[in-house]
Amino acid sequence: MKLRDYVLIRVLLSIPMILILLSVVFLILRVIPGDPVVAILGPKAPPEQVEELREKLGLNDPIYVQYFKYLGGLIRGNLGESILTGRSVSEEILERFPATLELSIVSMTIASLLGVFLGVESSRRRNTPVDVSIRVYSLAIYSIPIFWLGLMFQLIFGKYLGVLPISGRISPLMEPERITGLYLVDSILELNLRAFLDSIEHLILPSLTLGLVLSGVVVRMTRANMLEVLEKDFILASRARGVVERRVIYKDALKNALIPVITMMGLQFALLMGGAVLTETTFSWPGIGSYLIMRIGYRDFSAVQGAIVFYAILVASISVLVDIICAYIDPRVRY
């Protein structure tokens, strides 16, 4: 199969998945008992006001009409209007997305570098104290609630050492001009060193928190794959040829062990997004996760629905993208 055909089929196959997810979101937010209007206005609201809002939100239409209106809006990229601010939910989300993206990229980088390194070292020293401690690390890090790790970092680095800021993305009034929305990139483009350093300072604790928690999974996957690859004949052959051990491990073995790790990291994207919600809330990071939680607090259900739909589409797109990358790296996947 040509890569182009594979991409086409993979994209088509993702459509039912996205449709199912969108329907589940609709089902959860509209059909589950509980009247959103009462939730928004409170139980003591005057009936005329309730009726007016019901009409405005289209809740008086039959459920299937609401469903098709909802899907129709989504196709046009319209996530509706926020009940709280009256602004377009898609706009609000796109405004905050770069913050989540920046946090995710940096955390994922930390998780991959640390995770792959520890995983490799653990596999080449199988059953030594080093291996055991690395395995204990990956188990322990799984057991630590992300937000608690964040709180501990805030306590140590924010309170006791007082060296790092514990909330926000950048100090007030230092925001660089919005070009990409990623502060690290924008401040470089603006040649604004102060803003760059300041946003790095703000990024350290949140990304370390999220990165460390995600690294546990990477360690486990890398270790398992490396152990398998290290048994292979070509590794024995390399060693027999007298190739330096470090080269055998990091070049020959790791290259082969890494493909399944990359696939798995794509699947970990869902974990990353869930973790980001907790991290953003802990560090008042102005991304989509904290937006979601904040709007739940205000009972702004159109914004909540918009944020969740956005996550659904994001997750589905990433899984398509990962599959395509894998098909590109390893042609066997296509057949």
Partner 1 sequence: MLERKMVFLGSSILLAFIAMSVLAPLCKYDPTRGVDEELLPPSREHIMGTDNLGRDVFSRVIWGSRTSLLIALISVLIASLSGIPLGILSGYFGGKMDRILSMIMDSIYSFPGLILAIAIAAVLGPGVLNVSLAIAAVYIPTYFRVMRNTVSKVKNELYVVAARALGAGDLLILKDCVLPNLIPSIVVISTINVADAILTEAGLSFLGLGITPPTPDWGYDLSNGQRFILQGAWWLVFFPGIMIVLVVMGLALLGEGLSEILNPILREEE
Q: Does 212 bind partner 1 (CB under 8 A)?
A: no
If we measure between CA atoms, which residue out of 213, 219, 283, 200 comes closest to residue 257?
Answer: 219
Q: Which is nearer to partner 1, 125 or 251 (CB)?
A: 125
**Whole-number Å distance between alpha carbons of 177 and 96:** 15
Q: Which stretch binds partner 1 (CB under 8 A): 47-55, 107-115, 148-156, 190-198?
A: 148-156
By the rule CB under 8 A, 161 interacts with partner 1: no
Return the exposure string of 91-127: e unless at least 16 CB atoms fall within 10 Å of the residue's CB, then b.
Answer: ebbeebbbbbbbbbebbbebbbebbbbbbbbbbbeee
| d(C-alpha 254, C-alpha 230), whole Å | 9
Question: How far lies 335's CA from each of 3, 6, 330, in Å?
Answer: 10, 9, 10
159 binds partner 1 (CB under 8 A): yes
Closest separation in Å from C-beta 60 to partner 1: 20
Q: Tell me the closest approach of the beta carbon of residue 8 to partner 1, in angstroms.
A: 20
Using rule CB under 8 A, residue 63 touches partner 1: no
Each residue 124-143 as x (binds partner 1 by CB under 8 A) or -, in order, gives: ---------------xx-xx
Q: State the angle between helix axes of 193-230 and 89-124 in degrees (0 to 180), rounded to the nearest 10.
A: 50
Nearer to partner 1 among residue 118 and residue 141 (C-beta): 141
User: Considering beta carbons, is residue 71 or 113 the nearer one to partner 1?
Assistant: 71
Q: Which residue has the tokens 């990358």?
A: 325
Q: How far apart are CA 134 and CA 121, in angstroms?
A: 9
- Lookup: tokens for 71: 């899907």
Cβ 260 to partner 1 shortest distance, Å: 11
Taking phi first (over 0 means left), then psi (-120 to 50 degrees means alpha), and beta for anything else, what does residue 242 get? Answer: left
Q: What is the distance between the alpha carbons of residues 117 and 138, in angstroms, rounded to a whole number? A: 13
What's the min distance (Å) between Cβ of 161 and partner 1? 12
Member of 90, 122, 281, 302 binding partner 1 (CB under 8 A): 281
List residues near partner 1 by CB under 8 A: 16-17, 20-21, 24-25, 28-29, 32, 34, 139-140, 142-148, 151-152, 154-155, 158-160, 166, 270-271, 273-275, 277-278, 281-282, 292-293, 296-297, 304, 308, 311-312, 315-316, 319
